Amino acid sequence: MMKDVHPNYTEIKVTCSCGNAFTTRSTMAKDLHIEVCAQCHPFYTGKQKVVDTAGRIEKFKNKYGSMVR
- Residue 56 to residue 61: CA distance in whole angstroms: 9
Does residue 1 fall inside a structural domain?
no
Among 32, 2, 4, which residue's Cα sits nearest to residue 16? 32
CATH number for 38: 4.10.80
What pLDDT is recorded for position 60? 83
What pLDDT is recorded for position 46? 74
Residue pair 17/39 in contact by the 8 Å Cβ criterion: no
Among 53, 19, 25, 52, which residue's Cα sits nearest to residue 37? 19
The pTM assigned to this predicted structure is 0.56
Number of domains in the chain: 1
Give every residue of the chain whose pLDDT is below 50, as ranges: none
Q: Range of 16's domain?
A: 10-65
Does residue 35 fall inside a structural domain?
yes
40 marked as part of a ligand binding site: yes
43 marked as part of a ligand binding site: no
Alpha helices in 1-69 (DSSP H): 42-45, 56-64
16 marked as part of a ligand binding site: yes
Among 32, 31, 14, which residue's Cα sits nearest to residue 23? 14
49 marked as part of a ligand binding site: no
